[in-house]
Amino acid sequence: MNPKCGRCERVVYPTEKVNCLDKYWHKGCFSCEVCKMTLNMKNYKGFDKRPYCNAHYPKTSFTIVADTPENRRLKEQSKNQSQVLYKEDFEKNKGKCFSAVAITPEMERIKKAQDQISNIKYHEEFEKRKMGGGEAAQHHHQQQQQQQQQPSNPSPAAFQQPAASQNFHYEPTPEPVRQAAAAPPPSAGKRYRAVYDYSAADEDEVSFMDGDVIVDVQQIDEGWMYGRVERTGQQGMLPANYVEAI
């Protein structure tokens, strides 16, 4: 027995039969449900067991949920449960002050960069203090020298400039005292040039000016030397970082 056509419901004979979408169709009846364009097995699209062309194929849409009393009751119940959980969590954490920050690769990279910047700034400040230490010490010794050279009752003789060859005789402390407190005799042949001014702070130290030549220099330790100022003839201790070898 021959089947009936899915559209016109007439008998479909084998010579004109199209079997598709679980139905049998006449070749002329197998057309788009909207525009009636004749289709074939290569260009049709089926929806709900009906053929459509590409232009009129039904597009799916979102399902709209009906706002029923039961749905409203479930929504209200979910809202109340959320508020209960929020209040319980608030009571547990009341009085605690914390903030959780997720540790991500980006956060780790930023933290590492900040640490590197802090280290660089620390070393820069350290080098500045190190370089400025000599100037601060020089300024401090100059102030001490000025205080020592200002007598309480100045006399006209205090303002007289002694000869260059006799500068070591005007110090308040007698020369033999400095010689007694001096270090062992220096070895000859070592000459240095002063790169800063220096004012003696103790009796066993020697004062000099930038450019003075220091002869007969002996290294006492890492920071101090013993020598004689060629310009004034004074001998005594001097800081090693104020002179350079020539």
Residue of 162, 237, 164, 232 whose CA lies nearest to 203:
237
State pLDDT tens for residues 79-98: 887 787 877 877 777 766 55
Residue 78 CA to residue 83 CA, distance in Å, equals: 9
Per DSSP, the residues of the chain read -PPBBTTT--B--GGGEEEETTEEEETTT-B-TTT--B--TTT-EEETTEEE-STTPPPP-PPPPP--HHHHHHHHHHHHHHHHHHHHHHHHHTT---------HHHHHHHHHHHHHHHHHHHHHHHHHHHHHHHHHHHHHHHHHHHHHS-SS--GGGGPPPPGGGGGGSSSS-HHHHHHHS-SPPPTT--EEESS-B---STTB--B-TT-EEEEEEE-SSSEEEEEETTT--EEEEEGGGEEE-
Please report which confidence band the pLDDT of residue 74 belongs to, taking 50, 70 and 90 as the band edges.
Answer: confident
pLDDT given at position 14: 85
Please report which confidence band the pLDDT of residue 99 belongs to, taking 50, 70 and 90 as the band edges.
Answer: low
Bridge partners of 205, per DSSP, are 237
State pLDDT tens for residues 144-163: 666 666 555 555 444 455 44
Bigger pLDDT: 174 vs 203: 203
| Burial class of residue 198, CB neighbours in 10 A (0-12, 13-18, 19+) | buried
**Are the CB atoms for 24 and 3 separated by under 8 Å?**
yes
State pLDDT tens for residues 216-236: 999 888 889 999 999 999 999
Bigger pLDDT: 157 vs 139: 139
Measure Cα distances from 6 to 21, 51, 79 in Å.
10, 11, 51
Residue 54 CA to residue 44 CA, distance in Å, equals: 7
Q: Is the pTM of this model over 0.95?
A: no
pLDDT given at position 124: 80
Residue 227 CA to residue 183 CA, distance in Å, equals: 9
Cα–Cα–Cα angle for 74, 77, 83, rounded to 5 degrees: 145
Please report which confidence band the pLDDT of residue 126 belongs to, taking 50, 70 and 90 as the band edges.
Answer: confident
